[in-house]
Amino acid sequence: MKSTNLNVKTQRKTITLDAKGVPVGRLATQIAKILMGKHKVGYTPHINDGDFVVVINSDKIIFTGNKLAQKVYRHHSGYPGGLKEIKVQKVFSENPGKVIIHAVDKMLPKNRQRKEMLKRLTVLRPGEHIK
């Protein structure tokens, strides 16, 4: 039986990914894997030991097919007539990083650790530099 020590402080690295010319889904799967810690040898699902991720050139990601024009983000407020829709093209033109964050958010496990994993993701706007 494998035993794990939950009191061990994990060493987190910062991994920088360049989004230039990479499809959104391919980039999001790489980011989600790093945030969950699946790239590490000692991966354990219930331990949140992923690394930090910094994404640069978020405005240069590509969309395959007609996704940029046709894809729509939907959410519901819970009230009658509360369905809200916004096209990806509008979100991408306002803030390209939100598209990446949304894609990664939907790929992470739906549990209590999800919010903590997303805090370790930084998407730099065009013109911003790594601090």
Cα-Cα-Cα-Cα torsion 130, 24, 112, 8, nearest 10 degrees, comes to -50
- Stretch 67-94: mean pLDDT: 95
In angstroms, the CA 2 to CA 59 distance is: 44
Mean pLDDT of the 110-116 span: 94
What pLDDT sits at residue 117? 94
The yes or no reply on domain 14-68+95-123 and CATH 3.90.1180.10 is yes
pLDDT tens, residue by residue, 15-25: 999 999 999 99
Amino acid identity for residue 51 in this structure: D
The span from the CA of 125 to the CA of 100, in Å, is 12
Q: 117 — phi, psi (to 5°)?
A: -65, -45
Q: Residue 4: pLDDT above 70?
A: no
Domain ranges of the chain: 14-68+95-123
pLDDT over 90 percentage in the chain: 82
